[in-house]
């Protein structure tokens, strides 16, 4: 049986260019004690792995590596788990190729 090598998303994001808007996260997670199933699914579904579980079992987001696909908006905005906006003009991911 072959062993699946683990994928490091961080290495993938390292290829990309970003202009980070420090202190102005364009996605915010609503404070919660227990995360909803929608929010929990983002731990796996986010292609940039921006969502992580903290030691209290709450879901946190770090948007610096976000590639602005909108998957979390599609899954979580409806349930009110997150607030989603686009970064300010010029900020965020800067694709060289797209």
Cα(74)–Cα(70) distance, integer angstroms: 6
Q: Which helix (H) or strand (E) holds 76?
A: none
Q: Tell me the CA distances in angstroms from 51 to 59, 89, 98, one per residue in order.
A: 7, 23, 23
- Provide the minimum distance between the beta carbon of 66 and other proteins in the complex, in angstroms, as a whole number: 9
**Are 21 and 80 a contacting pair, CB within 8 Å?**
no
Determine, following the binding rule CB under 8 A, whether residue 50 of this chain makes contact with other proteins. no
Determine, following the binding rule CB under 8 A, whether residue 52 of this chain makes contact with other proteins. no
Residue numbers 5-24 binding other proteins by CB under 8 A: 5, 7, 9, 12-13, 15-16, 19
Q: Contact positions toward other proteins, by CB under 8 A?
A: 4-5, 7, 9, 12-13, 15-16, 19, 38, 41, 44-45, 47-49, 67-71, 73-75, 77-78, 84-90, 92-98
């Amino acid at each position: 049986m072959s062993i699946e090598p683990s994928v490091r998303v961080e290495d993938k994001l390292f290829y990309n260019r970003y202009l980070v808007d420090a202190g102005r996260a364009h996605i915010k997670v609503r404070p919660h004690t227990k995360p909803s199933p929608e929010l929990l699914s983002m731990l796996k579904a986010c292609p940039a792995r921006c969502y992580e579980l903290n030691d209290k079992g709450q879901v946190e987001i770090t948007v610096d590596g976000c590639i602005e696909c909108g998957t979390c908006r599609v899954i979580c905005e409806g349930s009110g788990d997150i607030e989603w906006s686009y970064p300010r003009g010029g900020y965020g991911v800067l694709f060289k190729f797209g």
